Amino acid sequence: MDINQKYTPQSWPDHPETATLEGKNKFIGFWLLLAAETVTFASLFATYLALKDKGPSGMEYSAAGLFELPLVFAMTMILLTSSLTSVYAMYHMKNHNFKAMQAWLGITVILGATFLGLEIYEFNHYVHLGFGFTNSAFSSAFYVLVGTHGAHVLFGLSWFIALMIRNSKRGLNMYNAPKFYLASLYWHFIDVVWVFIFTVVYLMGVIG
Amino acid sequence: MSSIAQKKGFGATIWDFMTTVDHKKIAILYLISGGFFFLVGGVEAMLIRIQLAKAGNDFLSAGLYNEIITMHGTTMIFLASMPILLAFMNAIMPLQIGARDVAFPFLNSLGFWLFFFGGIFLNLSWFMGGAPDAGWTNYASLALASEGHGIDFYTLGLTISGFGTLIAGINFLVTIINMRAPGMTYMRMPLFTWTTFVASALILLAFPPLTVGLFFMIFDRLFGANFFAVDMGGNTIIWEHLFWIFGHPEVYILILPAFGIFSEIFAIFSRKRLFGYTALVFATILIGFYGFMVWAHHMFTVGLGPTANAVFALATMIIAVPTGIKIFNWLLTIWGGNISFTVPMIYAVAFIPSFVAGGVTGVMQAIAPLDYQLHDSYFIVAHFHYVIVGGVVLAILAGTHLYWPKMFGTMLSEKLGKWTFWFFFIGFHLTFFIQHFLGLMGMPRRVYTFGADQGWDLFNAISSAGAVLMAIGVIIMLVNVVMTTIKNERVGNDPWGDGRTLEWAIPSPPPFYNFAQTPLVRGLDTYWIEKMEGNKKGMIFAEPLGDIHMPNGSIIPFVMSLGMFIASFGALYFLDGDKPWALAVLVIGMLILFGSMLLRSLKDDLGFHITKAELLEDAKGGKTDGH
Amino acid sequence: MMKGIKKWRLFALMTTLLVFLAGCGREEISTLIPAGEVAQDQFNLLILSSIVMLFVIIVVSIIFVLAIVKFRRSKMGEDMIPEQVEGSARLEFLWTAVPIVLLLVLAVPTVYSTFDLADVSTMDVQAEDGTSTHLTVNVTAALYWWEFEYPEQGIVTAQELVVPTDERVYFNLISADIKHSFWIPSVGGKLDVNPENVNTFYLSFDQQSSELEDGVFYGKCAELCGPSHALMDFKVKSVDREEFDQWVTAMQEEEPAAAEGDLAQQGEELFGADGLACISCHATSGAGGTGGVGPNLATFGDRNRVAGYLEHNEENLKNWIQDPQEYKPGNLMPDAASLNDGEELSDQELDALAAYLMGLSVEE
């Protein structure tokens, strides 16, 4: 692999992310990491369900009384859209259109940051209502589950930004193509987890 | 890049090991630190047996005793057995599949340093206010009630080292999936590679639940969360589930590579192909698969109800079938063979009855109603020591003798090895066989003392005597290592004479780039095939000699692990009112961690090439050294 | 010479027998000498599984020994290359099928027994007069001691469980603090005592404990619960139904018998609210509860042990009161000095307390 080799859309391989051994290794390794992440979130979900609405006697907040769907629905839409924009970015990556890829990634980052901002607003809102991390087993389980997802979003955003800045001058090559691909894969995973959070925590929570 | 071998200074050697990404050097690091922790855990074991040698002994106080049993279990499982097995996986598996290195050499180094700093962190508890004291299972209600910071050392230390192990697991999986030499199909992989593969898959799926449980415990104890605080709506049984969803596969993470080592030994020293290779492979996969469905058999007495208990009892019994398949296939491997009783083979042969004894008591405990009597008694102590010592530790001792020449280029003394074996083996049975009866006689586990009126004196005294024999065996082993290193008699590619797999086709120790040309694999036991066909060159190669691409060494893994280590101290003291600096330490540690991650990500690291000319010179006898 | 051998033989036989007997342990605590229906079921499973497993071990051992004796290199020759056998589908089938059959032999009684031992459906069956037909005991485990409440009878005792023989006794287990496990080895397997939920099971006691050498069965905590986990013992007195009823009646008497003798009366004063206020944690009548803060002492004089494990005499009692941490590290009972304005109790005061406590009895 030569990092200085220049590609044109014609010479660019169909699957640049797995065109080198390093890329292939990263590709498989990352899927395996996502398997481990899946088990992590499964454990968090199971714990959340076991501790849902559990707290000291006289606990003020339960899921049905706390969550409000409109904001969360907006967050869900924003994150789902950002997943779509990252797909566009990868489409352009495969066509060796660096500028378009950067642009779509930029949109993805903006959407992701909006999501994160809304989540911080939501948490802040709950804390002001008196639903803090240490209030009950339910609150601890809620904040750790949703907060772990939030931390993943933050990490994903930082990853995108670091990649975009680092490679802004030199464009696409066989060395960084797998990196872009994996960051995007990670972003999809975060999105899927959020769909589960939306369903299990918020929808099922409001229903009771 | 490569240069003729030269004597390096001590400091340069240390730096070399701190920055190395070579799987063989990382293996040595794992072996040395795992061996060190094995000795620490052994000393703890001796203290336990001294305390229990007679009724009403006051050699150790009650609190100290609980710290020692906790650290003995934790150290032996997480810091001794697993790292030593990881050492063999690192040293041997890439050679067995003819790979240049593991898939992610940088992550390999990171995995080691995380384990190492986690282990150090955990053991620093001895000097910083007391070790954890809630048992290696760290059940939540007791752990939350435990005073001081012992438990926090446990949770944070295991979190760090757990990340390291997870990374190692992913690395081995990718290596085996992607980097096998041409012709090395899955069904031609040596059994040790297969067991590494399955054990790595277990690591991948079993460690996350442990990490989640540990994080809950960290949040509860250090940041005021309520996952296990019963009065705040928490539930301590969640910990038990998470711990055992990890804990049961963990047993197989340990025993499967042990099976792999023994499979290699049986074939080599019987001079015979493994009987029922296919069955052995599928039994390995099945054991790994079932391993995830039986965790609640550690919780029969928790009160999960008869349905759960019955289902888990039956699921547990099923595991006896693939395990039995393995035992019989090994027996049939040596049947009709030509057995040479070298030290590794003696261990392997001794392993069969020892492990069968541990296995059958396992089935007895799968019988849930009977387990109500056996659970948490000395019977279970006897059982898991039969499995772990009779299986894993015997494999570690056997593997050390078997692979020592491949890792260090010299042979351990067979004579001293046999002395070690006899002391250790007799001591082991003397210590643990009688504990089955102590359990049946009503002795609970984890008791720091017992009254003279319980009728347990004699058997405990015998058990302690056995432990002394085991200790003597280990000391002889240390003498053996020292003497072998001093003598330094170099050996060739295949020092045992009957090597069958690729690792015996390469010099001992191998050059840092492994095979100069990737070998072509023509069947199971590929080196044996070449030998039988009289191939003088050792192997047939799949490619012409050419430039080899190698990764650069890096200090970043060490720095990242150090960052986590520092951050852990911040977290540990976060809620202590009198330590305002804790938050700063936490932040600094995290900055070091993420800063070095960022540096790694921004700085291109493209590695270097060894040219064909250098390889040719190397083959002529000049020894190339690492970068 | 022959005589010597005979003597040696006899000696060997006696030794073997002794080891065998020692191998069974003490009847107060050994699972190998079952003294109840549950323990007997479990013992039968032990024997059944041991036989099956012994069969496995024998088969493996025979193949194993033959293999390592027959095929050693010294016999086979240094250069002999054995035939490289691939395997045998028939053998694989055999050693898959046979273990499955053996496991089925074990699986059936396992499932049956699992459900049988968990069946507490008769617990709440009531006789025509509205009382339960079976005895229920609520067990509360606390840091290093056990409370036994008989809800139907309205009495509470601690550390020494009294039960009637030859009937099922039901237990509700809950922990007051952290997780413990309730185990009477010679009567039946253990069940965990969790802080978050009540666990229920039954045991039956088929032997009167007075027949035992020590007069009581030994109970244990079987889950690590802190420094004094090893000392968290309790005792079980099993008596026939008639004697049990008498004991219940005696316990139900509202007021404890007045202390007899000057010394004991002095001790009672010390024990009371105007003295060291021991009574604020320890009730002294069988009907009186103290909310599980400290063990009920109504039957103290009848007990078999002090603090659950020390020999039952005044000396140990006095040592215990003076400094409980010395004998059970981590327990929650304050030492005497902290109740007595920082001063240790005098010998005279200790004597008085001991005399009083030893006089607390509901037995004749």
What are the strands of the beta sheet with C180-184, ordered from one edge? Answer: C160-164, C234-239, C217-221, C180-184, C188-193
The 10s digit of each residue's pLDDT in C31-50 is: 999 999 999 999 999 999 99
Residue B579 vs residues B145, B401, B566, B575: alpha-carbon distances, Å? 21, 49, 15, 8
B529 burial (CB, 10 Å; 0-12 / 13-18 / 19+) is middle
DSSP letter (8 states) at residue B310: H
Query: Stretch C259-269: mean pLDDT, rounded?
Result: 85
The 10s digit of each residue's pLDDT in B427-462 is: 999 999 999 999 999 999 999 999 988 889 999 999
DSSP letter (8 states) at residue C306: E
In three-state secondary structure terms, C163 is strand
Residue B351 vs residues A42, B34, B86, B354, B390: alpha-carbon distances, Å? 38, 21, 20, 5, 6
Residue A1 predicted with pLDDT over 70: no
Q: Average pLDDT of chain B?
A: 93
State how far the Cα of B465 lies from the Cα of B480, in Å rounded to an integer.
Answer: 23
The 10s digit of each residue's pLDDT in C186-202 is: 999 999 999 999 999 99
* Partner-chain contact A144 B216, CB within 8 Å: yes
* Cβ count within 10 A of residue B442: 29
- pLDDT for B577 equals 76
- Amino acid code (one letter) for B595: G
B440's CB contacts (< 8 A; 6+ apart) are B373, B374, B377, B379, C25, C30, C31, C32, C46
- Nearest alpha-carbon partner for B445 in B399, B351, B381: B381
In this structure, which CATH number among 3.30.1490.190, 1.20.120.80, 3.50.50.60, 3.10.290.10 belongs to the domain A75-208?
A: 1.20.120.80
Cα angle value C99/C104/C109 (rounded, 5°): 140
Q: Average pLDDT of chain C?
A: 88
B400's CB contacts (< 8 A; 6+ apart) are B31, B84, B412, B477
Cβ contact C174:C139 at 8 Å: yes
- Amino acid code (one letter) for A164: M
- The encoded tokens of residue B180 equal 């096998």
Domain spans in chain B, listed from the N-terminal domain onward: 10-554+605-619
Give me the sign of the Cα torsion angle C5, C7, C10, C15: negative
CA distance B100 to chain A (A): 12
Asked if the C-beta of B229 comes within 8 angstroms of chain A's C-beta atoms, the answer is: yes
Name chain A's partners: 3 or more CB pairs within 8 A: B
Asked if the C-beta of C21 comes within 8 angstroms of chain B's C-beta atoms, the answer is: no
Query: Residues of C331-354 as b/e, b for ≥16 C-beta within 10 angstroms?
Result: bebeebeebbeeeebeeebbbbbb
Q: Could you tell me the domains of chain C? A: 23-72+89-121+134-252 (2.60.40.420), 262-358 (2.60.40.420)
State how far the Cα of B582 lies from the Cα of B588, in Å rounded to an integer.
Answer: 10
Residue B4 predicted with pLDDT over 60: no
* Cβ count within 10 A of residue C189: 28
State how far the Cα of B394 lies from the Cα of B396, in Å rounded to an integer.
Answer: 5
Residues 143-202 of B with CB under 8 A from C: 144-145
State how far the Cα of C356 lies from the Cα of A132, in Å rounded to an integer.
Answer: 53
* Cβ count within 10 A of residue B91: 25
- Nearest alpha-carbon partner for B432 in B354, B346, B349, B344: B354
- The encoded tokens of residue B270 equal 């019987």
Residue C21 vs residues B40, B521, C14, C36, C86: alpha-carbon distances, Å? 37, 61, 10, 20, 49
State how far the Cα of C279 lies from the Cα of C297, in Å rounded to an integer.
Answer: 10
Share of chain B above pLDDT 90, in %: 86
Domain spans in chain A, listed from the N-terminal domain onward: 75-208
Q: Given the DSSP bridges, would you call strands C168-175 and C135-142 parallel, antiparallel or unpaired? A: parallel
Contacts of B602 in chain A (CB under 8 A): 162, 166
Residues in chain A: 208
The 10s digit of each residue's pLDDT in B527-554 is: 999 999 988 888 889 889 989 999 999 9
Residue of C224 and C363 predicted with greater confidence: C224
Residue C4 predicted with pLDDT over 70: no
Q: pLDDT grade, residue C290 (50/70/90)?
A: low
Q: pLDDT grade, residue A63 (50/70/90)?
A: confident
- The encoded tokens of residue B84 equal 């030593």
End-to-end CA gap in chain C: 61
State how far the Cα of B409 lies from the Cα of B492, in Å rounded to an integer.
Answer: 8
Residue C8 predicted with pLDDT over 70: no
The 10s digit of each residue's pLDDT in B273-290 is: 999 999 999 999 999 999
Radius of gyration of chain C (CA): 28
- H, E, C per residue of B521-587: CCCCCHHHHHHHCCCCCCCCECCCCCCEEECCCCCHHHHHHHHHHHHHHHHHCCCCCCCCCHHHHHH
Asked if the C-beta of B271 comes within 8 angstroms of chain C's C-beta atoms, the answer is: yes
* Partner-chain contact A56 B231, CB within 8 Å: yes
Share of chain A above pLDDT 70, in %: 98
- pLDDT for B603 equals 83
Residue A74 predicted with pLDDT over 50: yes
- The encoded tokens of residue B374 equal 């056996």
CA distance C83 to chain B (A): 7
Query: Stretch B517-521: mean pLDDT, rounded?
Result: 94
Residue of C361 and A197 predicted with greater confidence: A197
In three-state secondary structure terms, C232 is coil
Contacts of B209 in chain A (CB under 8 A): 39-40, 43
- Nearest alpha-carbon partner for B131 in B159, B147, B151, B161: B151
Residue B317 predicted with pLDDT over 80: yes
The 10s digit of each residue's pLDDT in C86-120 is: 989 999 999 999 999 999 999 999 999 999 999 88
Phi, psi of B410 (to 5 degrees): -135, 160
CA distance C300 to chain B (A): 21
Residue B220 vs residues A132, B143, B155, B327, C259: alpha-carbon distances, Å? 14, 10, 11, 45, 49
Residue B463 predicted with pLDDT over 80: yes
Residue of A5 and C351 predicted with greater confidence: C351
Residue B223 vs residues A133, B92, B565, C261: alpha-carbon distances, Å? 9, 43, 18, 57
Nearest to B205 among A3, A28, A35 (CB): A35
Q: pLDDT grade, residue B6 (50/70/90)?
A: low
* Partner-chain contact C82 B270, CB within 8 Å: yes
Residue C280 predicted with pLDDT over 70: yes
- Nearest alpha-carbon partner for C37 in C127, C116, C100: C116
- pLDDT for C276 equals 86
Contacts of B605 in chain A (CB under 8 A): none
Nearest to B219 among A3, A28, A144 (CB): A144
* Partner-chain contact B170 A134, CB within 8 Å: no
Angle, to 10 degrees, between the axis of helix C37-70 and the axis of helix B320-334?
20
Contacts of B241 in chain C (CB under 8 A): none
Residue A108 predicted with pLDDT over 70: yes
State how far the Cα of B160 lies from the Cα of B567, in Å rounded to an integer.
Answer: 11
Q: Is the ipTM of this complex over 0.85?
A: yes
Q: CA-nearest residue of chain C to B339?
A: C72
The 10s digit of each residue's pLDDT in B73-100 is: 999 999 999 999 999 999 999 999 999 9
- Nearest alpha-carbon partner for C333 in C282, C264, C270, C257: C282
- pLDDT for A137 equals 94
CATH superfamily of B10-554+605-619: Cytochrome c oxidase-like, subunit I domain (1.20.210.10)
Output the CA torsion A164→A166→A172→A173 (10° steps): -140
- Amino acid code (one letter) for A105: L
- Amino acid code (one letter) for A22: E
C132 burial (CB, 10 Å; 0-12 / 13-18 / 19+) is middle
CA distance B165 to chain C (A): 28
Place of tokens 């039946």: C188
Query: Stretch B590-601: mean pLDDT, rounded?
Result: 91
- pLDDT for B624 equals 44
- The encoded tokens of residue A120 equal 């911080």
- Amino acid code (one letter) for B556: I
- pLDDT for B627 equals 39
Nearest to B273 among C72, C76, C85 (CB): C85
Residue B613 predicted with pLDDT over 70: yes
